[in-house]
Amino acid sequence: MKNITPIIFEKSIAGRRATSLAPKNKIVAKDIDKKYLRPNKPILPEVSELDVVRHFTQLSQKNFSVDTHFYPLGSCTMKYNPHILQNTASICGFTKLHPYAAVECCQGILECLFELQEYLKQITGMQGVSLAPMAGAHGEYAGVAMIREYHASRGDTGRTEIIVPDAAHGTNPASAAMCNYTVHEIPTLEHGDVDLEALQKAVGPQTAGIMLTNPSTLGVFERNIEKIAKIVHTAGGLLYYDGANLNAILGKARPGDMGFDVMHMNLHKTFGTPHGGGGPGSGPVAVNARLLPFLPTPIVGKKGNNFSLLTKRDLPQSIGNLSAFAGNVGIMLRAYVYIRLLGTEGLVRVGEMSTLNANYLMKLLQEANFTVPYPDRRASHEFIVTLRKEAKELGTTAKDFGKRLLDYGFHAPTTYFPMLIAECLLIEPTETESKQKMDEFAAIMANILQEAKTTPDLVKNAPYTMPVKRLDDVKAARDMDFGWKQEKK
Amino acid sequence: MPYIPHTDQDIQAMLAKIGIKSLDTLFEEIPKNLRINGLTGIPEGLTEMEVAKLMHERAHKNKPGLCFIGAGAYEHYIPAVVWDLVSRGEFLTAYTPYQAEASQGTLQVIYEYQSMMRNLMELDVSNASMYDGASSLAEAVLMAVRANKNATRKAALIPQTLHPAYRTAIEALTKQHDIELIDIPFTTKSGHIDFKALEKYADSGVAALVISQPNFFGVLEEVDDLTNWAHQHNMLVIANVNPLAMTFLKAPGQWGEKGADIAAGDGQPLGAPLSFGGPYFGFMCCKQDFIRQLPGRIVGRTVDTEGKQGFVLTMQAREQHIRRAKATSNICSNQALLATASTIHMSLLGAEGLERVALQSHANANELCKKLTAIKGVELVFTGQPFFHEFVIRIPKPAVEILTKLAAAGIQGGYNLGAAYPALQNCLLICATETKSSADLELFAKKLGELL
């Protein structure tokens, strides 16, 4: 069968291995009693170095990636990941450094991280930054935990609820629940704004805070943000900003100015670090003066010309450390290099061009007869197209369109998120894509719409040119085959 | 502008299509008083050449030295193939495999990773990775509390032989759920869990016992006895292990009569460079019984409409994007690239190669221990129990002063235990891996001898 790469275990030949990669001699651990030792060898592949190179190279060639394809995944900011980031982070003065090495031996990396903290303060308009959280969700946990500590420190223990708009990313309510808060959902109005009346009714002495994304997941700016801030603050709650969409307002507006008390950023979105197939990311948190004492450790401190890592000993009210060491340092380093490359002007341009691209593409798709739920609003750096009409009249869904796009060499946009809009595609081109690429994408979308009208089955059964056709999710959940097992002969 | 391809003509044409005259109009919905006119405090952009020069200068200010520190991050040789392959754009710049048909590369790699990890742990299933060992262990504690229906208390027994930073991370990550973390002391002679102290909790109704193997001091714990004891008393066993050590030491699924229930730790020894602490990756494996409580992504094997083998993310009803507030965890992005690196690393070395690395590390640690304890005034702190590749010595001079002087001589001499363990003042936790030659060990011993 074409295109199957066998599982690497299936290539094993007993006794085969890459001998030059391990010590020549095999020591026997005579001083360790048998009771501590494994009775058997673990089952791992037995293959040659060449087998490994071919196997994983072939597998890589089955992936779509930013380096190979236009990847307009809304909410993910799939911008180009400059290769120099990888290059500089790989210098051995960085990679060989142990996290517990003597502090005077770590001044180079600490200086980079300290400067990154300072830049992120400027970009967000906040007073303090911790680079510790290792992804957006980790940062959300930290942010909500800081809100909890803040209220506890004031003896205000009755605040048990976090308010979350129904359009929020799933990590928001999940993070609130991880901090033992009850989630109170409020609705969004037809023009994409949070329902202020519902918010006013929802707040009270039980409100710990609200979690918001701005621009929201609906692809539009929360115009009433200042009113929202007033309502929540008046009720004694705090405002949390989900920084997933920071790309849209980079250099144009700052969450700190909007009244947010705490926020996280996604370095793997806004600051160009590679997504890695699902991480590693990095989710630094930033706070205003109120929450400064609670930032997670470690934080890079500076005394004179010397840098060091501040721990709970230095910051006794900190919510503590969220991982063993300093976080995803290699990712922070890449984000630092990205900011040094772009500089002030470049960062502002990111906000401008990502927003220009989204509005331009939205217009092209509208002209191609696609329906956008907020036609009278400016798009942020992403926008939604709803295929509700097409699903109803032609039977072709957002999922089908997404799969057909793959055949044309485009990764599908985000589908079925936010859940508020039926059959939605959330489209985020990012600023690193050209006008020509977007013209191409719009033309292909129009093409697929035509296919849906004339030969709907073609769209419904796509893709045809991928390594596999549509996959059976039900069978996957039923079989629970999560690891290769030697077939019994 | 870096990475922004738009020419002035492009911009004019796009503005015209949208029907506006200036870029400012795009931001008209942002209240005027919130709009800023550029950023302050950010330096001007550098060319790639300038940034490369800057980064080399900064890297040069770091002095990694000859490294004898372990304490949760271990220097091992990483074959050239690993990062050459992992750095391919198709792996590096791909995203989460939500569109399975366009992500079969990443999905198959993760399936293979899951297979290898659970084999190494001798358990039934592995997830696709967590952030790091400490946060993975915290999630394991939360999971055990959720899953243990026989427990009468939301509590876990945490030995003081667990990495102190893991202990504080578990506290930070489980605090909101009012989970009691009960400290279990270690024996001063052997440096392993104190059974007598543990016995006190026999009928306490706590949900879980955490066992590190090897423990933070490098010492091997009595994993069979501890596991059986915990199971007798209706506790789940959480194994916090070094995956490299599992190539020759008894693996969690083989502990005691029934095997440990959950394994969580850091995969860094399998292909992640030290990098000042990250990115590494957390692994989590468990018995089949607990699979619905396992956090994180899981890849499953299935077929497509033509019966051809394929891979998908599955059991997503546990995760945030489906269950939202009721999810097992809020985790979304994890450490997929590092898990990929470890899969390649494990494939290259195989069980035999990895075992040799582990045994050479053990032998080097033994040799170093002999050399250092031969120095007058230096004593081995924990005796009577074997160690893996780390050991603890007590020195006759202040640890901070000695470590500083060693660092100045280009040697990272070990981890100072005094801060986290008041009873272990002037004690150093020292590690030797397969990367150290006899000459390196000799140099360290010589330098330390001179300073003492």
Mutate to test the interface with B, among A169, A482, A484 (most CBs of B within 10 A): A482
CA A157, chain centre distance (Å): 32
What's A46's DSSP letter?
-
Rounded distance between C-alpha atoms, residue A289 and residue B154, angstroms: 35
Nearest CA to A143 out of A226, A245, A75, A238 is that of A238
Helix (H, G, I), strand (E, B) or coil at A330: helix
Contacts with A445 (C-beta within 8 Å, 6 or more apart), sequence order: A365, A368, A370, A401, A405
pLDDT tens column, A254-312: 999 999 999 999 999 999 999 999 999 999 999 999 999 999 999 999 999 999 999 99
Please tell me which residue of chain B has the smallest CA distance to A333.
B55
CB pairs under 8 A between A and B: 676
**B293, two tokens:** 């409580």
User: Which pLDDT score, from 0 to 100, does residue A187 have?
Assistant: 93
**Surface of B (286-305) touching A: CB under 8 A:** 291, 297-305
Q: Is B96 on the interface with A (CB under 8 A)?
A: yes
Rounded distance between C-alpha atoms, residue B412 and residue B55, angstroms: 23
**Surface of B (183-212) touching A: CB under 8 A:** none
CB within 8 Å: A253 and B44: no
Q: Where are the alpha helices (DSSP H) in A14-76?
A: 49-60
Q: Which of B64, B119, B177 sits opposite A96 (nearest CB)?
A: B64
Q: Which of A49, A138, A360 sits opposite B348 (nearest CB)?
A: A49
Instruction: Specify whether the backbone of A450 is left (phi greater than 0), alpha (psi in -120 to 50) or beta.
Output: alpha
Q: What is the pLDDT along chain A (489 residues), one digit of tens a residue?
A: 457 899 999 999 999 999 999 999 999 999 999 999 999 999 999 999 999 999 999 999 999 999 999 999 999 999 999 999 999 999 999 999 999 999 999 999 999 999 999 999 999 999 999 999 999 999 999 999 999 999 999 999 899 999 999 988 888 988 898 888 999 999 988 888 999 999 999 999 999 999 999 999 999 999 999 999 999 999 999 999 999 999 999 999 999 999 999 999 999 999 999 999 999 999 999 999 999 999 999 999 999 999 999 999 999 999 999 999 999 999 999 999 999 999 999 999 999 999 999 999 999 999 999 999 999 999 999 999 999 999 999 999 999 999 999 999 999 999 998 888 999 999 999 999 999 999 999 999 999 999 999 999 999 999 999 999 999 999 999 999 999 998 765
Q: Are A372 and A426 in contact (CB under 8 A)?
A: no
Helix (H, G, I), strand (E, B) or coil at B69: coil
Task: Give the helix/strand (H/E) hosting A275.
Answer: none
User: Which pLDDT score, from 0 to 100, does residue B136 have?
Assistant: 96
Average pLDDT, consecutive stretches of 10 residues, N- to C-terminus, chain B (452 residues) = 95 98 96 94 97 98 98 98 97 93 96 98 96 96 95 97 98 91 97 97 97 98 98 98 98 98 98 97 97 93 96 83 71 87 98 98 98 97 95 98 98 97 97 98 98 96
Mutate to test the interface with B, among A11, A38, A63 (most CBs of B within 10 A): A63
Q: Which residues of B touch A320 (CB under 8 A)?
A: 168-169, 171-172
Contacts with B446 (C-beta within 8 Å, 6 or more apart), sequence order: none
CB within 8 Å: A468 and B273: no
pLDDT tens column, B25-51: 999 999 999 999 999 999 999 999 999
CB within 8 Å: A325 and B72: yes
CB within 8 Å: B276 and A99: yes
Q: Which residues of B touch A337 (CB under 8 A)?
A: 51, 55
Instruction: Dump the DSSP string for B141-195.
Output: HHHHHHH-TT-SSSEEEEETTS-HHHHHHHHHHHGGGT-EEEEE-B-TTT-SB-H
Rounded distance between C-alpha atoms, residue B316 and residue B100, angstroms: 13
Q: Which of B90, B95, B310 sits opposite A76 (nearest CB)?
A: B95
Rounded to the nearest 10°, the torsion over CA A298, A300, A302, A306 is 100
- In A75-202 the beta strands, taken as DSSP E runs, fall at 128-130, 161-165, 182-186
> ipTM surpassing 0.95, yes or no?
yes
Strands B208-213 and B427-431: unpaired
User: Which pLDDT score, from 0 to 100, does residue B176 have?
Assistant: 83
Instruction: Dump the DSSP string for B229-298.
Output: HHHHTT-EEEEEE-TTGGGTBPPGGGSTTT--SEEEEE-TTTT---GGG-S--EEEEE-GGGGGG--S--
Q: pTM for the full model? A: 0.97
Q: Is B273 on the interface with A (CB under 8 A)?
A: yes
Cis peptide before A280 (omega within 30 of 0): yes
- A369: number of CA atoms within 13 Å, CB side? 10
**A324, two tokens:** 């063993």
A298 to each of A120, A123, A133, B134, how far by Cα in Å? 16, 21, 10, 14
Contacts with A337 (C-beta within 8 Å, 6 or more apart), sequence order: A82, A84, A85, A88, A89, B51, B55
Q: Are A277 and B91 in contact (CB under 8 A)?
A: yes
Q: Which residues of A touch B338 (CB under 8 A)?
A: 276, 279-280
> Burial level of B288, CB count in 10 A (0-12/13-18/19+)?
exposed
**B238, two tokens:** 């959480």
Strands B415-416 and B125-126: unpaired
In which residue are the tokens 């048998």 written? Answer: A34
Distance from CA of B277 to the nearest CA of A (A): 5
User: Which pLDDT score, from 0 to 100, does residue A420 have?
Assistant: 87
**Mean of all residue pLDDT scores within chain B:** 96
Q: Which residues of A touch B172 (CB under 8 A)?
A: 145, 296, 319-322
User: Which pLDDT score, from 0 to 100, does residue A174 have?
Assistant: 87
Strands A128-130 and A285-287: antiparallel
